[in-house]
Amino acid sequence: MALNGLEQGRARYAYDCARQGKDLPASKEYKSYVKKIPALIKMNGLGATLAFIAAKKKDDPRKKEYAYKVIYDQLKPWLVEKGLVERHQDLVAAVVALDSLSYRMVTGEVLALFKWISRFAEGLIEGEADE
């Protein structure tokens, strides 16, 4: 049960994330971004990926890049809950301040979470972003 519990917890949180993503005007972008984030992490590492998202996100809900903001804001509470990041810290700064062992742990957690988010986003959100 314990192991199942971990994955179930991620799945539950990921489902709520994907539901929130579905209701966005930029829901298609949300879907395509959550699917590409694991690939970005594998290519450039978690720190660079988060910095990339932080640089791309826009606060205007009408903009496509608002989806990046939603993703960024969804990620942090999960890592805080898991005790991997402090609540008051900036996410990017917190991640680059980690030693490499913890960094790998956080990377693993983020990848595990995004596996679920992209599954649910795939199921809940129809259509592809036109890019």
Partner 1 sequence: MSERGKLVVQQTKGGGYAGTIRLSNNKSMPLPSYYDLRDASLNGVECEVEREKGLIKRVLVAGQDLQRRPGKGSQEGYKDRQPQHRQQETAGRPPVKDNGPHQDKAREENRLKTFLPRDTHQYLPAKVDNFGLLLNKVAWFDEGEDNKGQGKGFKFYLAGRNPRTLVKGDFAGIDFTVLDRRRERALQGTGLLLEKLPMTPQWRFVVGLGQESVYETSLTLHPVYGFPFIPGNAIKGLVRNTIISEVFAGDEKEALADTGFRAIFGWTNYGTPSSQRGLVHFFDAYPATAPHIVPDIINPHYAPYYQDASGRTPPGDYYNPVPVFFLTVERTEMLFYLGINPAANQVITAGELAGQDYLSTTGKWLRLALGEYGIGAKTAVGYGCFASL
Per CB under 8 A, does 102 bind partner 1? yes
The nearest distance, CB 15 to partner 1, in angstroms, is 24
Per CB under 8 A, does 111 bind partner 1? no
Report the run of H or E that residue 61 belongs to, with start and end.
none
The interface region with partner 1, picked from 21-29, 40-48, 75-83, 118-126 by CB under 8 A, is: 40-48
Q: Determine the straight-line distance between the first and last CA of the chain, rounded to whole angstroms.
A: 42
Residue 113 CA to residue 109 CA, distance in Å, equals 6
Give the count of beta carbons closer than 10 Å to the beta carbon of residue 42: 12
DSSP annotation of 63: S
Stretch 42-101 residues interacting with partner 1 (CB under 8 A): 43-45, 47-52, 55, 92-93, 95-100
Rg over alpha carbons for the chain, rounded to the nearest Å, is 14
Where on the chain is the footprint of partner 1 (CB under 8 A)? Answer: 36, 39-40, 43-45, 47-52, 55, 92-93, 95-100, 102-103, 130
